[in-house]
Amino acid sequence: MSLSGMSSGELSVHNSSRGASASFRSIPSPFALATTVAAPSRPDRVEDPFVTGLQRARTAVGLIATLWLLMAYPLAEGREQFVMGKVEDLLVGSGLTLAVGAAAVTTFIIAARSPLGRGYVVRLTGPLCSLAGIALGAGGSWLMVKMLKGEIISTADVGYHGFLIGLLVLLLFFIGWLICVVALVFAVLFTLAALVYGLNSCFRLGDVHELLPPWISPLLVWSLFALGLFDGPDVAAPPVVLYTFLLGGPVSVTALSVWEVRRLRARYGVTLRRALGR
């Protein structure tokens, strides 16, 4: 039926449903929001599309290799232990990135001549926003867990005020519970995605200078490789397969980082000497 054949009431309902649908679609996904928070976004930042494509291809190959390894060999431990181990690796990697990144940025800013150093300090807004977004996501997750456990407010705090009032209170608490569940899922997915994206981008250190991520990434992945040697294997695979898989990440990241530094120097004139004003 065409819009001209609708009554005013039908038009009103139609427009309301379209407005609600548009409002729902306008809500960003946790992954899109995490990308916005964790991806470098300085307007004048030099970005080589070829290197970016290679980095995405390396990430895709790494994911495919991980899935193949998990499907080809049984897990050394249970699924829950495997998932928690990966979350622990993500947190350890993020902590290492923060420590190494803070030391590198501090040294970089101190070594830069004026006024370059002051400009790099201003550019710290990007990394700080990335960290603030992750902190807010983790804090929101903690708050929603507390809400769902009833440690902040519960029906016992309201008291009894009659059947209808009690029924209304239960209905409001049920609606609030659903909202908290949705908010918890959103916050957890956002926080994990922001940690992954932030780890890949060294928490937006590229906003400070283009050379910082390729210099820091190899140190980070080799540190994680060294720590991984002390942990038990995730799957019951032959040693040759395990060590090939473990070495694949650090070697590929190091090779891409060296390639990126050379491309930045050869094609865009970006060098460490020029970055420090030496």
**160-173 burial string, b = 16+ CB within 10 Å, else e?**
eeeeeeeeeeeeee
In this structure, is residue 32 part of a structural domain?
no
1 is a domain residue: no
Q: How many domains does the chain have?
A: 1
H helices within 26-115, ranges in order?
30-38, 49-72, 79-111
CA distances from 116 to 129, 147, 203, 240, 268 (A): 21, 47, 21, 48, 18
Over range 61-69, report the average pLDDT. 81
pLDDT of residue 2: 46
Query: By residue range, what is the domain housing residue 179?
Result: 46-276
Residue with tokens 């060999």: 73
In a domain, 93, yes or no: yes
pLDDT at 60: 82
CA–CA gap between residue 38 and residue 244 (Å, rounded): 30
Pairwise CA distance, residues 43 & 118, whole Å: 18
Q: Label residue 189 by pLDDT band (50, 70, 90).
A: very high
- The percentage of residues in the chain with a pLDDT greater than 70, rounded to a whole number, is 83
Is residue 16 in a domain? no
Is pTM beyond 0.85? Reply is: no
Question: In the numeric block, which tokens belong to residue 260?
Answer: 């990126």
The pLDDT > 90 percentage for the chain reads 6
111 residue type, one letter:
A
If we measure between CA atoms, which residue out of 253, 262, 270 comes closest to residue 55?
Answer: 253
Residue 36 lies in a domain: no
* Average pLDDT taken over every residue of the chain: 80
User: Peptide bond preceding 115: is omega within 30 degrees of 0, i.e. cis?
Assistant: yes
In a domain, residue 207? The reply is: yes
